[in-house]
Amino acid sequence: MSMLSALAHLEAMESWQAIPLTEFRHRHLSARPLVIIPLTMAGEAGAPLAAMVGSARRQRTLLVVDQPRNRDQRFAFAAALGQIVMDYINSFRQDRRGDGDRSRYTDAPQILVPNPGGIKALADLGRMCRFRQTTGPYAVAEVVPEFGMWLTFLVDAAEEAGTSMLLPITGMLAEHWATGQSTLENQNLASLMAWIDPPSGVSVEQALADAENPDVCPPAGPTTSPQFDNRDLAPAIRRFDTANRLGDPQALADAESDLRDLVAEQVQPTWRMLWNAVALMRTVPEAPRAARRFERDCVSFTNYSDYQDSGPLPQRKRDAAVGAARRLGRQERALADYEADMAFDDPFVLADRRSVGEAFAGTVVEAEPGRVVTTDKNRRVPRPRIVVRTEDPLRLAPDTALISPSPTVPANHRARIVATVPDGAATLVTVEITSGMGRARVPTPGTVPEGGDRIAYLPDPGWRPTPVFPDADSMPWTHTAPPDQPDPDNAESDDAAEEWGHD
Amino acid sequence: MNAPVDDRLAALRGSARRLPYSARSLAALENNPRCTLRALLDSSGSDKAAIAERAGFPSPFGQSTFALARGNAFEAMVKANGCAELLRVLRETLQLTLPEVGYTDLNDVGGDARPEIRAARTAHLLVRAALGQGDSTLYDHPMLRLIVGGHAVFLEPDLVAFRIGDRFHVVEIKSFPIIDGQAAPAQVRSATTQACAYVIALRAMLAQAGIGPQAVSDQIILVAPKDFTNRPTAAFVDARKQVATLTRQLDRIARIGDLVALLSDGLTFDLDPDSDDRPRRPAEELTSALDQVDTTYRPDCLNHCEMAFYCRSRARANMSLDVLGPAVREQLGGIDTTTMALGLARGQLVPADDQREMTTALRHAARLRAELGGAA
C-alpha cells in the first residue's frame, strides 16, 4: 500500500465514509454480466449447497441441492448450473471478426461472484467436474465436464491482473474505494457496501453492525453462518431425508420447497446487494485502457473456445514445470502491464505511485532539445535531454526506462533516467528522450517538453519476449512430470467410484 | 512465586469454572502473543465467549453441525478397526515400511477415565516404548500434560502418537480436504499449531525420563480427505519453525506474573452468575474492567479470538491504526493513531524527532491529494 492510499484509509476512518481511490473503474464491466452466488456446505470438501445465478437483477434462478452429501444430487446440480453458464458463454460465441489467426469474438463473458471465496468455490466445482466421464459407470451429464473445464479456464484467467472474465465484486469495489476497515473485512460484501453506500437513513456505523449480524445480513457465502446451519438448515435437510426414505411424495415436495425457501432467504439479500454494487460500479467511468485489456480477454476467450471445439482435454491437476513457468510469466507480465496502465490512465493512481517514489512529476527547468548522438551503427539520432525538478521522494535508479502519461507529449514518448541530483528538498532528474519524436533527424515540434512544462514519468513495463521452452522430448528428467503420473483421463476412476459423503 | 500469581489469576476469573487451554486459545497464543488481555484471560482460564457476550460483543464463532458431523465421521472412519485406514495411508501414501503393527488405546485405564490416571499410563507406556520395550506402533488418545504459565494443562489430542524407527510422530487427523496435494494454508497452519503443542508436551514427558527431544519428530503427519472423497490421504508437514515459536511463547507465559503485577488490585472479570448461570454483573462495570487491560488488536483476531469484536470497537474508539490492519500500519511505522497521522499530515501537529521522516512523506502525500481535488 502506498502512502496516498494509506492516507485515504485514514480519512475514511476519520470521516466514517468511503473515499475514492481512483478516478476510473479499471475493470471492464460487461453490459450483461452473469452473477453467480455459490453456497457450499460447511465442513464438506466443495459440496455445493446452492447457487443463485442470472444475468439481470430480476432474472434469477435458484438451484438447491437438497442433500449436499448425495453424489447424484451434486452432479444434477452441476449439470443444471453448467447448462445455465454454458448457455451464457455460448451466447458470446456468435459475433466473430477478423480473418485467419486474427479472427476473434467481439465480446467475452463476464461472471461476477460476491467475494474471493466465491472464486474458490467455483474453482473447486471446476476441479470436481472437469475430469468426469459422460459414459460408463458413474456417468454424468454431457455438460458437466465441459462446464468444469470452462470454470477452470475462468478461474485461471481471474488470477491474471486486469482481466475481467471472472471477478469478485468486493475486489472491484475495494480497488475504487478506501474504507476505514481492514482488507480482511473488505472481503465481506455487506461491510464494504455499508461503507460505500449505506442504506438511506442508516449511519455507516449502524450499517456495519447490521452487515456483521448474520440474521440481518446473511453471509455472502460460500459458507453459510453456523447459526443458520444449526437452527434452520440441518432440520430442513433431515426432514427432506426422512420424506425421501419414507417415499412420501407430498412430504418430499413440502420438504423441498421448505429448503428452497430457507436458502432463498439466505441468498436474496446478497443478490440484491451485489446488483446494487454492479449499478454503483457502472456510475464510475471506465478507464481508457480498460478497452485494450478487454480485447486481450476476447482473444483468450476465443482461443479457449476454439480449443473446446477441437476435442479438449481437461486442464492438468497441477502444472508441470513448463506450464508453471509459463503461467508465472503470464501473471507477472499481466501485473506489470496492469499497474502501468492504471497509472497511465488515472491521476489518482499516478499520485499514488508518486507518493512512494515509483513515479515522479515536476517542472522542466532545463531543456536541450537539439542534442544529437551517434549510435553504434554510426547513425545520428536526436537524443534531447531535459532536467525535471520534482519534489517527489524519487526511488528510481538511473537507466530506468520511462513512459509519460502527460498530455503535453505524444503517447509513444519514451525516455530514460540519466542522473538524479538532490536539490534541497527537491530532486533534479536528467531525462533523455529516446523515442516518440517522429522520423526526421530533428524532433517533430511539440514532441520534446520545453522549459516550464509540467511533466510526469513512470517506469515503462517494457516489452518482454514470449519465453521459449524446450520440447517435451528434450526436457531434462528433473523437469518432466513423474512417469508414474496416471493419465488424467483415468486418474479419477478411483474417485468416481467412491461413494461421497455419508449420512 | 507462583502462588500469589495463581491467586491473582483466580481472582480475575472469579466464580467461573476454570477453562482449559483449547485448540483455539493455543492458536491465539501463536497468532497474537503480544496481547495482554488475551494472555490474562487465557492463563486465568476465563470464559472469553461469555465475557465478550456480556460486554455486548457476542462472539460469532460457532461450529456448524455439518462440519462437526463430517469431522467426527472422518476421524471415526480413519481410526476404525484398529486404525486400518490410517495404516493403509501410511504404507501407501507415505511409503513407510511397517512390518508389524500394534495398536494401543489409551482412552481409559480399566474404565477409569480421570486425566491424571490416563496421563500416568500414557507416560508409562510411551516412555517404555521410547526405551524400546513396547510392542505398539500406534497410541490412540494419549493424555498429555503441557505446562502453560506454570499450570499443568491436560491436552487430549484426537490423535495417535505413531512410532516408527526410534521416533514418535504426531498424527493429526483433520477433515478439510487435500485437493491435488494442496490444502488451505490457514487450515494447515492451525492444524500444525495444535500438533506442535502435542510435540512439546510429548517431549516434556519424555524428558522427565531422561529421553532427549530427538525422540519426537518435528515432522507432523497430517491425515485428511483426498480431493472430494472420504478416503484419507496423508502428508508430512514440517513444523520445526512452529514448534520453536510455540516453545518461545510458552516460556513467555511463565512470566505472566509480570503482567499480573501491573494490574490494579481488585480487578476481576467475574460475571457474577446466578444459579442458572446467567451473568448478573452490569455490562458497564465489566467493560470498564476490561478497558484497564492493554490489548493488541489485529484484524486477523476476528478469525480466532472471541474478544476480537470488543477489541475492535475499543481500537476504533481510540482511532487506533490497528483497525486498518497491517498494510496501513506498516506504511506508517512509529505512528499509532489516525488522529495523530492526520494531524501530522495536515500540519496541525509537530512531529517528534523520530516522526520527522514519516511526516515529510505524509505531507507530501497530502499535497498530492490536495492537487487532485481531494481533501486531506
Mean pLDDT of A372-377: 86
B102, B122 contact by CB (below 8 A)? no
- Tell me the pLDDT tens digit for each residue of B360-374: 889 999 998 888 875
Hey, are the CB atoms on B177 and A2 less than 8 Å from each other? Answer: no
Residues 193 through 222 of chain A touching chain B, CB cutoff 8 Å:
212, 214
Query: Of A256-265, A301-310, A389-398, B47-56, which gets the smallest average pLDDT?
Result: B47-56
Mean pLDDT of A356-365: 92
User: Which residues, listed in sequence order, are joined to residue B139 by a DSSP beta bridge?
Assistant: B104, B161
DSSP letter (8 states) at residue A285: P
Burial classification of residue B231, based on how many CB atoms lie within 10 Å of its CB (0-12 exposed, 13-18 middle, 19 or more buried): middle
A228 vs A225: CA distance, rounded Å: 5
A408, A453 contact by CB (below 8 A)? yes
- CA atoms within 13 Å, Cβ hemisphere of B264: 9
The percentage of residues in chain A with a pLDDT greater than 70, rounded to a whole number, is 95
* Contact status of A73 with chain B (Cβ, < 8 Å): no
Which residue of chain A comes nearest to B342, CA vs CA? A10
- Tell me the pLDDT tens digit for each residue of B261-292: 888 877 888 888 777 778 888 888 888 888 88
- Helix or strand holding residue B187 (H, E): helix B185-208
pLDDT of residue A489: 38
Hey, are the CB atoms on B324 and A9 less than 8 Å from each other? Answer: yes
Q: Please state, rounded to an integer, the average pLDDT across all residues of chain A.
A: 88
Hey, are the CB atoms on A124 and B374 less than 8 Å from each other? Answer: no
CATH code of A357-459, in short, is 2.40.30
Residues 236 through 275 of chain B touching chain A, CB cutoff 8 Å:
none
pLDDT of residue A25: 94
- Tell me the pLDDT tens digit for each residue of A401-411: 999 998 888 88
pLDDT of residue A111: 96
Is the pLDDT at A483 greater than 60? The verdict is: no
Hey, are the CB atoms on B361 and A3 less than 8 Å from each other? Answer: yes
pLDDT band of A486, cuts 50, 70, 90: very low
- Tell me the pLDDT tens digit for each residue of A30-60: 999 999 999 998 888 778 999 999 999 999 9
Instruction: Please name the member of A14, A128, A354 whose beta carbon is closest to the beta carbon of B228.
Output: A128
Of residues A463 and A21, more confidence is placed in A21
Q: Outline which parts of chain A fall under CATH 2.40.30.
A: 357-459
- Tell me the pLDDT tens digit for each residue of A190-199: 999 999 999 9
Q: Which three cell numbers stand for residue B55?
A: 460486554
**Which single residue is written with the C-alpha cell 440474521?**
A215
Mean pLDDT of A161-177: 94
In A243-393, DSSP assigns E strands to 360-368, 372-374, 380-382, 385-390
pLDDT of residue A499: 42
pLDDT of residue B254: 65
pLDDT of residue A487: 42
B43 vs B257: CA distance, rounded Å: 11
* Contact status of B185 with chain A (Cβ, < 8 Å): no
pLDDT of residue B24: 65
Is the pLDDT at A471 greater than 60? The verdict is: yes
- Helix or strand holding residue B196 (H, E): helix B185-208
Start-to-end CA span in chain A (Å): 47
**pLDDT less than 50: residues of chain B:** 1, 375-376
Is the pLDDT at A473 greater than 80? The verdict is: no
pLDDT band of A493, cuts 50, 70, 90: very low
pLDDT of residue A296: 92
What domains can be seen in chain B, in order of their start residue? 3-62+264-294 (no CATH), 65-250 (3.90.320), 332-375 (no CATH)
Residues 101 through 140 of chain B touching chain A, CB cutoff 8 Å:
none
A457, A431 contact by CB (below 8 A)? yes
Looking at CA atoms only, how far is residue A374 from chain B in angstroms?
Answer: 40
pLDDT of residue B2: 53
pLDDT band of A491, cuts 50, 70, 90: very low
pLDDT of residue A1: 77
Buried b (16+ CB within 10 A) or exposed e, B280-303: ebeeeebbebbeebebbbbbbbbe
Looking at CA atoms only, how far is residue A31 from chain B in angstroms?
Answer: 30
